[in-house]
Amino acid sequence: MPKQPLYKTSRLSTYNSGAKFRGVTEDVDQRMITVVGCTLMIGAVIAAVTLFLMSLKNPSRGCGCGKSARVGGVAAGGEAMDIKSDEDLDAAIKTGEKVFVMFHAPWCGHCKTTKGPFKEAATRGGNTMYALADCANDITPKALAKYNIEGFPTLKLFSGGVEKTYSGPRNADSFVDFCK
C-alpha cells in the first residue's frame, strides 16, 4: 500500500470573501493557519519590544543609537556637535556663545566634501562651538524656514542674537577665520 501524503496538492482559488484553499485536509489547513498566525504575532511583538527598548536608549529620537545631543556638551575647540532636534538647535543658538552651524543633507555631494573641513575647523575653532544639523533626518521644515535654509550646505554663524551666513571657500582655515 503506497503512503498517502499528509496533504493533497492544493490550488488557491478566490471567492467573494477572499482566498481559500481547496483540496487540503481540515487538520493540516488549521495547523498551517495557526503556525502562520503565531509567527506573525511573534514578529509583531518582537518589533514592538525592540522599538520600546530603542526609545529607552534615546528618548529624544528613539533611534537606538545610544547617542543623545547635549547642548553645550562639546566645548569650543573640540569636535563638531550633532544637533538631533529643532529644540537642540534653538537651545544651542540661544546660549549667546558663538555657534557655527552647518545645515546639511546626507545625500548632498557638496555637503559630503564640506563636512571634513568643517570637522577639522571644529578641532581648532577657538571660542566657537561647531554644530552639524542633519536637515534630512533631524531638523524639521519649520526650522529650516525659520533660519532661511534654502539649499545645502548652508553655514551660519550665530553670535549674541546675530545671524551671519557664510559664503566663502569651504576649507578649515576659512571657517576658522570667519568665526573670529
The residue annotated as part of the active site, out of 38, 63, 65, 111, is 111
Rounded to two decimals, what is the model's pTM? 0.58
- Count of residues making up the chain: 180
pLDDT tens-place string over residues 67-123 = 333 333 344 557 888 999 999 999 988 888 899 999 999 999 999 999 999 999 999
The residue annotated as part of the active site, out of 38, 65, 108, 179, is 108
Query: Is 111 among the catalytic positions?
Result: yes
pLDDT tens-place string over residues 111-127 = 999 999 999 999 986 78
CA angle 128, 132, 138 (to 5 degrees): 140
3-state secondary structure the chain: CCCCCCCCCCEEEEECCEEEEECCCHHHHHHHHHHHHHHHHHHHHHHHHHHHHHHHHCCCCCCCCCCCCCCCCCCCCCCCEEECCHHHHHHHHCCCCEEEEEEECCCCHHHHHHHHHHHHHHHCCCCEEEEEEECCCCCCHHHHHHCCCCCCCEEEEEECCEEEEECCCCCHHHHHHHHC
